[in-house]
Amino acid sequence: MRVGILCKGETADVEWASKLSFRSMAWMRFALSPCAPEHADWKHFAEELSAAAKRHDIRISAIGALYANPLDPRQTERARAVFHRAIEVAASLGVKTVSGFAGGVIETTLNERGGNPVYRPFEDFIPQILAFWEPIAAFAADHGVRIAFENCPQAPLPLPVMGYNCMARPATWEKIFNATQYSNIGLEWDPSHLICQLIDPVENLRLFGSRVFHVHAKDAFINQSLLERYGICHPGVAEHRVPGLGQADWPQIIHTLARVGYDSDINIEGWHDPVFRDHQAGTAVTNPLAGRKMEESGLLIAKRLLDSLTKSC
């Protein structure tokens, strides 16, 4: 179990990860890379990236294919092509996992009383969800690859309310895993999204650990005084942080991952922390220390903690 970071899949990012002494990376933004389906000659770039990673003893733990809504009819055709290509690239490089968002069917009906829209739950659309994903899972299985869905809500608040990702809630995971015949459909598990829903990540791992194929290491903090005053949907109640600066019990998370037989790496997702992030010029957040150095500081805080817990795993 190596500790790594999320990278854009460029050799410069591989060198950056190596400079910070990380030993794993998740190749993100695949859909925008020279390996995307618009490019027929993808093998040279993929092999060059893989060779750079090997030179620095960095393992590519997953390929982040597409983090959008593949079940939106406007995106479906390209999304299918992106995942197929990502699976081919993963198989070529010996990467076991392709990740992304499962997306979701969004349908509203009108309230009988006032005409306000009522959103139907994702559970109503499981046949449509699986109709898209199971053929991709079959293609992946033929290539020895797994599909891992990240559990980020993709909603205005860090909650699965008005978002487009059906795999944001464990209740939906359960229904989809029970409905599908494909054991290579699983999770890109991020404990921060559970904490934001007041769910215990350790207990969640005990229930769903066999379906966890990849881990994004991100923490979260619940502001109890704001929660008690305004409720869970108030802005600022739930806040993402780098591992070690939130409320996740990382020793027990690592212990439970090992216990359930987790066979991949842990990649830190650090850019959401309100302090340790690379704030872009012109945003509302001002920080005199802003810049990539702040993001690096947060990554290294998380790395020290996670390295201390994973050396024997």
0.95 cut: is pTM over it?
no
- The size of the chain, in residues, is 313
Q: How many CB atoms lie within 10 A of CB 50?
A: 19
Cα separation, 189 vs 211, whole angstroms: 9
Domain boundaries, the chain: 3-310
Cα separation, 304 vs 171, whole angstroms: 34
- Token couple for 224: 């109890």
Angle subtended at Cα 245 by Cα 20 and Cα 100, rounded to the nearest 5 degrees: 65
Q: How far is CA 29 from CA 40, 47, 97, in A?
A: 18, 17, 15
Count of alpha carbons within 13 angstroms of residue 267, beta-carbon side = 26
Cα separation, 163 vs 203, whole angstroms: 24
3-310 is a CATH 3.40.190.10 domain:
no
pLDDT tens, the chain, 313 aa long: 999 999 999 999 999 999 999 999 999 999 999 999 999 999 999 999 999 999 999 999 999 999 999 999 999 999 999 999 999 999 999 999 999 999 998 876 666 666 666 678 888 899 999 999 999 999 999 999 999 999 999 988 888 888 899 999 999 999 999 999 999 999 999 999 999 999 999 999 999 999 999 999 999 999 999 999 999 999 999 999 999 999 999 999 999 999 999 999 999 998 888 888 765 533 434 444 445 788 899 999 999 999 999 987 7
Cα separation, 206 vs 203, whole angstroms: 5
Side chain identity, residue 82: V
